Structure formats: C-alpha cells, structure tokens
A and B are shown apart, each in its own frame.
Chain A
Amino acid sequence: MSIGLIEELSSNKILRATWYSIVVGFFLLFVLIPPIYLFIYLAGSYDKLPVVLSNSEIMGEMKRAIYFSYAIAATVTVIDLISALPMAWILLKKKFRLKGLLDTLLDLPMALPTSALGFSVAMFWLRLADLRNAFWAVVALHVAMSYPYMLRTLIASLESVKSQYEIAARTLGAHPFTVARTITLPIAKPGIIAGCILCFAKSLSETGGTAVTLSVIEAVERTGPVLIKSWKAATTQAEVFLLAGGILSAILIISSLLALYSFRTLATRWRVPIRKIWLWERRLSQRPFTSLRDFLSVLFPIFVVLAPSLFIALFPLWLNADGLPSGLLTAIWNSVVIASIATMINLITGIPLSIFIARSKSSLAASLLDAMVNIPLIVPTTALGFSISLFWSKGIALGLSDLAVISLAHISFTQPLLVRNVIASLEQLDPSLEDTARTLGANPLKTFRKITFPLIKPGIVAGTILSFTRSLGETGATISVVPKALTAPVYIVELVSERAYSVAGISCMILLLISGVLLYALKRTGRGE
C-alpha cells in the first residue's frame, strides 16, 4: 500500500475509530490487564494460598519488607522536599558562578542505571563513614536517586507561579520569606505534591540499586521489590515462592496506589496556616539566615547527590583491575535491544494514544485513560514486571521468549513517560492549526505528518530519550521476569553479589559514560536545538 492510499483512507471515520481502538486495546492488554490478571491468578489458586499464609517465616519476611519499604520511601520524600525546595528557589531566582554546571550535573543521577548508582553510593558511604546501617544506606541511595526528580518538579512548579503575585505581595509589605510561605508555595502546591508523589513512588519502586547496596553492606533486611526478586529467583526450587511473590506484588500494587491517591487527596485539602504572619519571620529574610540557608542548600546536593554518584569514577584508583568485564558488552547489547524494542513500540502506539487522550479530553474514556496512563509510574516496577511475567506465562501461554516478555514489561512503565511528554506538547499546540490544514485539503494523516508532527517533535524526542534511558537503567522489571537476565543493570547486580567489585566498577563507569551522552542529547532537545 502506498502512503497516498493510507492517507486517503485516514479520511474515513470508521477506519480512524478502528485504529484508535487498536491502540487503546494495546495499552489495556499490555499495561493494565497483567496486574488485573495477577489478582485473578491469586483468586484462582485460593486453595494453595494457606500454604503461604500459614508459613510464618515467609509472612514475617513479607511484613518486615513492606514496612521497611514504606519507612524508607517516607523518609526519602521528606528529606528530598526539605533539601530540594530551597535549592529549586536558588536555581530559579539567583545567579551565581558555576550555576549552569551545577544545574546540569544534578540531572546526572536521572540518567544513570540505579544499580550502577547504588554501587557508587554504597561504596562512597562505606569508605567515607563506614555506613553499614541498612535503613540509612538505602535512604542515602534513594535520596541521591530521587533528589533530581524532586528538584526538576519543584523548579517547574515554582516557575509557573506568575511573578506579579510575588511583586504585589512585596509592595503590600511582606518580607521575602513571608511571600514565599504565604503566596508562592500555596500557589505552587499542586507541583509540590506531584514532586512528593514522584519521589515516594521512585523510592518504593527502586530495586537494582537497593539490591546492590544491601549486598555491599551485607545486610539481612529486604525492601519489598528486593524480596520479590529473591523469591522470583527461588521459584525454580519451590512453587510456594511464586505464590508468595504474587501476594507481595499484589499488596505492593494496591497499597502504593492507595497510599499515593490518598496522599494526594489529603495533601490537596491540607492548608498551610497562611493567614497568620509571625513577626520573627522577617528575621528569616535577613542575613545571616539567608546566607546559611543558601550555603546549606547548595552543600547538601553536592555531598549527598553529586559526590556519591560520581564516586565510582575514582573507584578504580585504589583497586587493581583483576579482570575485564567480559560479559558487559553482551549485557549492554541486550539492554540496548530491549530498550530499542520498547521505545519503538512506545512510539508506534504511544503517539496515537496521546493524540486520542489529548484530543478528546472531555470524553469519559479519554479522562479514564489519562488517569490510567499514570498507574505504571506509581506502582513498583518489580511488582508490575512480576504480574506481566505471570500473565504471559500462565495467563496467555504463547511461549514468548524472555527477551519479548522483558520488552513488554519495559513498555509498561516507559510508555507513560512518552505519553505524558507528547500530551503536554499537544496541549500547547493550537488546535486551529490542524483544523485549518484539514480545510486546506490535507487528510488527517497528512495533517499529522506535515503539521502536528513537526510542531510536537521536541516533545516526542524528549519522551523517546526519557523512555529509552529509563528502560536502559531498569533492574526491577527485568529481574522479576527473568532472575538471571543479562541486561547491563542486572549484570552489575550480579557482579556485586559475587563480590567482583572492580569489574562492577568498570562496568558502572562505562554505563556512566553512555548515560552522560544520553543526558546531553536530552538537554539539547530540551532547548529545542
């Protein structure tokens, strides 16, 4: 079929509706049905459940892991918020030397595979402070990993507050701190809540780096996702572990959704005491408080985020290279193949899905989809991967290869990244441009090709790089499909558990380089070049 004929067909409403149904169907089948299937599966094997539920060892481990995960996520979110808020303020409103460099470097942990990041951070704290407390070691890692996300979200939401409000408040006699507390932050509250949800979900979901950290400090504690990983690896020995992993995944999926939606509801209602203004407050707008605040806010990310993340670069200096990472090339190749497949399919199905959601915002179906697209961003990827693996092996036994199932798992949590970016670009696009193109004689597909696509391209490129990078660095969803899958992040987890630190270190450095290149590409597209 020629392009001309396909374009001609796009004028047909029924064919268009069919195409959108296929895309939405794909999303439901590949992203939403597997978690639902998990519950069906558990309900179906109710006769075997007592074996797990009465096993006090398994149940105790499960309870401790869930508590451990949530305690860490809450601590991390609080630390992120307190430390990133003044930093966001500084990066947005102040000028100082090396600000641009700091701004760029702080994004680095976002591009780094968390297992490499976990190795770097764990080594840093172990060498520097002999940190062997599992709770704080994992918190240190999760803060380093999630701080940039909090910072970006806060900057974006503070940026959206019109400066007129602040100027008006200042002219009415409020001191800068009071303006921030009573005007800027309440207006920026939805963005602050979004940042907290993002960091909480990131911490809850993190698997690879956490596994590495716990293994480096030889801790016995397990977070939820790490426990799923070990149980998944043990399913070959006993089926009870498959059920246990399923139960834990189900609990994590439900509890994370409940926790974050109720947090959002409560936080939206919660009002800061903005009516009252204390007189001592004005002191906070004066030196030395301001200098101290600025100093601490800049120092924190340098020592807690940057230095631990880049520590790995120094690592080979005091360790002899006792061998080259022989499996690394294959692992990187596998990672790239999976990330490419996932990103390709995301592009083919994600763009139409975004168009459908953005263009029919008023319809119930579209607003439901809009909310559902976010689910994979909130639930732990390990639990998601577990359910996908279960669905494609027990639900629909097509005999898909491990690579295919891993790719499907990666699609589920990377698609939202692309879809969110494309929807955001589409919402900025003036719909009358497309309308006019139609009246000038361009059919829907040609309108997309010649008008919509060129104008939303920066959003598509950014979403593509983000989902590619995210897939490249993912451990949890890969491990929960195949415990020994040879992707680069999993390879590092395994090297660390085998104590092959120097090979792991070199692998991390290579991944650091690749991530740096991707990050640079993302920054360039972000500036619209």
Chain B
Amino acid sequence: MPKVELREVTVKYGRKVALEDVNITIEDGSYSIIAGPTGAGKTTLLKAICGLVPLARGRILVDGKDITGIPPEKRGVGYLPQGYALFPHLDVWGNITFGPTSRGWDPRDIEVIARRILNMIGLIERADAYPHELSGGMAQRVALGRAIASGADLILLDEPLSALDVMLRILLRYEIRKMAKALNLTVIHVTHDQEEAMSIGDRIFVLREGKILEEGPPEKLFRAPENPFTAYFIGESNFYIGYADKGVVRIDGVELKSSSKLEGDVLVAIRTREVKICQAEERLTNSIRASVEEIRFFGRVTKILLNVNGLRMVSELPTLRIEGLKKGDEVLINVDPEDVLLYRLETVEGYPEVKEVILNAGDRAR
C-alpha cells in the first residue's frame, strides 16, 4: 500500500515536452484517476512512474523513497498498458507466473501464488487458455492478476476499459475498483472518459498538454471546478462570455445571480444538469422564462435546447421528469447561483477548445 509522490516531474520526447512540472501526491490505498483528452500525456505519466521513460527533471518517491532512475524491473510497480499486453505466446498460467519467475522466486512459492491469484480472478479452470481465447473481461482479470502476482501493490491502469463494449465497460469499472479496494492496492487509472472518471475515482487529476490543471474529489470537480477546462472536460457545461458586477452576471440580455466574487469581464460556465425546469408557481432566484427549441432524447436523460431571451442554453434532465414537454413550449427555468461559475475571461485564451464552445461568441455559436 504505497504512497506515491511526483515532484516537478518533467518528461521530454526530443524537443517536445510531454509532461511539465507535474506535482501530485497519490495517497496510500487510494483509487486515483488521471483524466484528460487524447495526447495530454496520460500514458507518459504512467510510463514515468513505472520507469519506462526517463525524466528530464524531477523526482518520483514511493513511500518517501526516491525511485527516480531505478530500472522498471526493480520498481515493483504493476503496469497494465492499453489492450493489456498479455503475452500471446504464453497461456494464462505462463502469463501469471511470468513476474514471479523473472524475479527468481522459489518454484513452490510461485505455484502457490499462481493458484491463489487464479482462484481470486476466477480463472483457475482456464489456466491453459491462450490470450486470444479469452473474452475482454477475462483478459482484463488476467492482466490485473499478472501484475499482482509479480508482487506489485501499486497498479497503473492505462485506459483499461476502452477496448470493451459499452455494457461491459460500465459493469467492469466497478469490478476493478472493488478488487483494488479488497486487496488494498493503490491504483492510478488513466482515462479520457469523464463519466468513468467521476464514477470510480476517489480523486481526479485533470491533465492537459502535460500539465496538471486541477485535482480533487469527483463531486468537487463537478460542482465547483476551479479551472474552466475542468468545467469543459468533466461534465457538460454551457459557456458564455459575460460581465459580472456585485454578484450579478449579465450575458447579453440575460441577468443571473452568481455566488462568485469575481467582477468584470468573465467566462461563465453553467452545468447542463443544473439548468432545471421548474413549475410556474415556484418563485426561486434565477428563474427565467425560456422557450423549448428542440428536444434530444438520450435514453435515461434528455437534452433540451432552450432559447432564453435570445440566448441559447442546454438543459439536461432525467427523461421521466419532462414528460409531456414539446417543441415550442414556454417554460420557467432556474439555476442556483452556486452553479453559475465564473472565471477570468483571460483564462480562456489558454484553452482554444473551450473558446470553441462558447455559446454567445458570434457566428461560432452552435
């Protein structure tokens, strides 16, 4: 059950900086998520921790011990690359015992360990199966079992669910977490799927272009992200450019109360899930009239495209709650001032992808 600390970790590929000054602490026994878009440096971060890429600068400490520069085979860090990398020429038994054999353990111990692991992952019957004969879920269990068998208690998972079908993906993400918690492992799980990140992480680290932008528990990153990129990447938001003055933000013709203390030109983010449709008789703060322009059905939830005094806004609500709503309806919407998030307008310059989705930015409005 190790605690992992990264101190000013910088990795370069030639001239390209893949990771820049990453400072994070992964608590002992925690399930941490590194979330970020493609090309953010997520895989590089994992490879740096297990020693597969050299650091240009910085240190990595495991339980206070500096492991920078130690070759990967001597770190005892379990790494599950994307696609699991089960050795195709070895059967399940051969894969599970690869680590212990490589470390030169006593053959009798190896036998005992391998049996215990196979029992744990429920594949004792399939010990002589080859990787191509296993289902996606089995392959994942073998990969995890293989890492644990080698004595690792820090496990790095690189997009472990991306190769699976949607249904299995949702089922298995809880299974990995359960297994990790039962065995008291410290897990660092990399994903670009924000829903996956929120549903299983104890703590999420948001990585973009080699830098950690923000970290915190999932609820905090969802309710009150400190960085506009987090508001963009974790959960869905409506983005606007507005002007804030004494707790009120004006976005074109619409005025909304905000709990933020920020004043002046601001970037406004409102979670689509926090845009509620309320009954006409309720008088809440920030209730505004809006008309329904389009209804998009997504199964459990439905997205409603609203026109709020000429301003476009998306609301995401459970399908059950909006029965009977149809295009052209006039409704009353409401947003809690806590959920009107404000950021300095300059910050958006660093995030072109956020700029792209600002709803009242002229022709670029979607």
Q: Which residues of A contact B (CB under 8 A)?
A: 4, 11, 13, 362, 430, 432-433, 435-443, 446, 450-451, 454-455
Contacts and interface: CB of A to CB of B under 8 A. Distances in A.
Interface string B79-115: 1111101011100000000111011100000000000
Nearest to B94: A450
Contacts of A437: 87, 98, 102
Nearest to B147: A440
Nearest to A439: B79
Contacts of B47: 435
A53 to B, nearest CB: 49
A441 B150 contact: yes
B72 interface: yes
A111 to B, nearest CB: 29
Interface in B43-76: 47, 50-52, 71-76
Given A436-B79, A438-B52, A11 B73 contact: yes
Contact of B102 (A362, A435, A446, A455): A446
Given A433-B87, A441-B99, 4 more contacts: A11-B71, A437-B98, A441-B103, A455-B89
Contacts, number: 78
A438 B73 contact: yes
A441 B102 contact: yes
B78 interface: yes
Interface in B180-194: none
B89 A435 contact: no
Interface of B: 13-14, 47, 50-52, 71-83, 85, 87-89, 98-100, 102-104, 146-147, 150-152
A442 B73 contact: yes
B85 A442 contact: no
A439 B71 contact: no
Contacts of A455: 88-89
Contacts of B103: 441
Contacts of B89: 454-455
Given A441-B102, A441-B103, A450-B98, A433 B85 contact: yes
Given A430-B85, A451-B87, A454-B89, A439 B73 contact: yes
A230 to B, nearest CB: 52
Is chain A's interface secondary structure helix, strand, loop, or mixed overall? Answer: helix
Contact of A430 (B71, B73, B83): B83
B340 to A, nearest CB: 44
Nearest to A4: B104
Contacts of A450: 98, 102
B41 to A, nearest CB: 16
A440 B52 CA distance: 12
A11 B51 CA distance: 12
Contacts of A446: 102
Contacts of A440: 73, 78, 98-99, 102, 146-147, 150
B83 A432 contact: yes
Contact of B82 (A432, A442, A451): A432
A433 B74 CA distance: 17
A21 B357 CA distance: 52
Nearest to A16: B71
B82 A362 contact: no
Contacts of B50: 438-439
Contacts of A442: 73, 98-99, 102
A441 B72 CA distance: 7
A119 B80 CA distance: 59
Contacts of B74: 11, 441
6 contacts: A11-B74, A435-B47, A438-B72, A439-B50, A450-B102, A455-B88
A443 B73 contact: yes
A362 B165 CA distance: 35
Contacts of B152: 439
A353 to B, nearest CB: 22
Nearest to A454: B89
Nearest to B54: A13
Given A436-B81, A446-B102, A441 B87 contact: no
Contacts of B72: 435, 438-439
A477 B146 CA distance: 52
A439 B77 contact: yes
Nearest to A13: B71
A435 B85 contact: yes
Contacts of A362: 13-14
Contacts of A436: 79-81, 85
Contacts of A430: 83, 85
Q: Which of A362, A437, A439, A454 has the most CB of B within 10 A?
A: A439
